[in-house]
Amino acid sequence: MLSRTLNSSGRLLGLLAAPSRSSSHFVYSPDTKCPEVAGSRTKMNMFTAINNALDLAMDKDATALLFGEDVAFGGVFRCSMGLQKKYGRERVFNTPLCEQGIAGFAIGAANVGATAIAELQFADYMFPAFDQIVNEAAKNRYRSGNLFSCGSLTVRAPCGAVGHGALYHSQSPEAYFAHTPGLKIVVPRGPIKAKGLLLASIADPDPCIVLEPKTLYRASVEEVPDAYFESPIGKADVLRTGGDITLVGWGTQIHVLTEVAEMAKKQLGVNCEVIDLVSILPWDKETVCNSVKKTGRALIAHEAPLTCGFGAELAAAIQEECFLHLEAPIQRVTGWDTPFPHVFEPFYLPDKFRCLDAIRKSIDY
């Protein structure tokens, strides 16, 4: 945990802020599918959009509590900046360094009707809270016959590759939680989506996990609506239409796939349909399968390892629903079945070249 402290409060932030991100494996594409929300817009990056969402949620709901490790001074990624000053130490506070405690404490607060917004500092450190999330939060309503629930609980955690995060500052644990009935899991691709999904999760009557790709905190900038709005949970976004192959991803990988679609058009003359799954659980089977029925080909890409990654669930469902429409085996381009490495990160990630090669294989099949 020592390395975490060093990394999170110092080195990692410093490097994130550094302008020289030439080695980044993606090019950020701002959101063109912005929801129609009335009123003004402000240029925000993802952490300021999250901060804005938390501010609106705290303002709207007097029972809302915001807590976790180091959230009081603004958070190691600045997501809770200024909120303790605005809402007081009783509503925005640091907890002891203990993830199972944070999750358990949050469930209890939600049990008595408070809106509990818990931060786990890195998704890599969600595992100590796994029992509380999987055995307790997810099953609260079911096991009590709806006498009790912790639906007003939201867990936020920074996830995904960041260039140099190695084993414990890079993980994408969505598939572990996707195997748990009772949870909802979402992953934003940028500031607008992060704000909408976070507000939807906080308002949702079920326990939600928001996995925030940390590399986007500063790298992504969009004109975000200032007003309160929610992005629907369980709904995928078709970001680019095309007739030759369906590309499905979420989080940072969306930006890889958007670039790959452009490369495929230019280099191969292939028209890709790009879908941001947005919501891992429940996931939007209808949108994905309608697309694959049209294109006849599918590529799924995620940073997490291949075996039992969420891509496996997508591939199985697509195969079942679209069997007669498929022209080629479903391609999965993912992280390898290894821990997430430090110096080998460029060889680990499902980057644009690996994705483009998979498109080529699918088309040539």
Partner 1 sequence: ARIFMRSRILLQSTKHQRSLTTQLDKSDMNSADGKNPRFPGATAPFTSTPHVTYAENATPIPIYRVMDPDGVMEDKSQDPKLGQETIQKMFRDMVLLNTMDKILYESQRQGRISFYMTNFGEEASHIGSAAALTPTDLVYGQYREAGVLVWRGFTISEFIDQCYGNVDDEGKGRQMPVHYGSKKLNFVTISSPLATQIPQAAGAAYALKLKEGNDRCVIVYFGEGAASEGDCHAAFNFAATLDAPVIFFCRNNGFAISTPSSEQYRGDGIAGRAAGYGMAAIRVDGTDVLAVYNATKVAREYVMKTNKPIILEAMSYRIGHHSTSDDSSAYRSPEDLEVWNTVEHPINKLKNFMRSKGWWNEEDENAFVKSIRKQVLSQISLSEKKPKPDWREMFHDVYYDLPVHLQEQLKQMEEHVEKYKEHYPLKDFKH
Which residue ranges make up the site for partner 1 (CB under 8 A)? 63, 65, 90-91, 93, 95-96, 98, 100-101, 103-114, 116, 128, 131-132, 135-136, 139, 141-149, 151, 181-182, 184, 205-206, 234, 282, 285-286
Q: Annotated catalytic sites, by residue?
A: 99, 169
Q: Which is nearer to partner 1, 27 or 98 (CB)?
A: 98
Which residues, 6+ apart, have CB-to-CB distance to 289 below 8 Å? 317, 318, 321, 322
> Which of 361, 343, 321, 364 has its CA nearest to residue 23?
343
Residue 213 contacts residue 254 (beta carbons within 8 Å): no
Residue 202 contacts residue 171 (beta carbons within 8 Å): no
Q: Which is nearer to partner 1, 52 or 152 (CB)?
A: 152
Residue 209 contacts residue 243 (beta carbons within 8 Å): no
Q: How far is CA 41 from CA 19, 192, 221, 224, in A?
A: 25, 10, 12, 5
β-pair partners for 276: 237, 249
Q: Which is nearer to partner 1, 226 or 321 (CB)?
A: 321
Please state, in angstroms and rounded to a whole number, the distance separating the CA atoms of residues 319 and 329: 9
Q: Which two tokens stand for residue 126?
A: 């969600």
Q: Which is nearer to partner 1, 30 or 205 (CB)?
A: 205
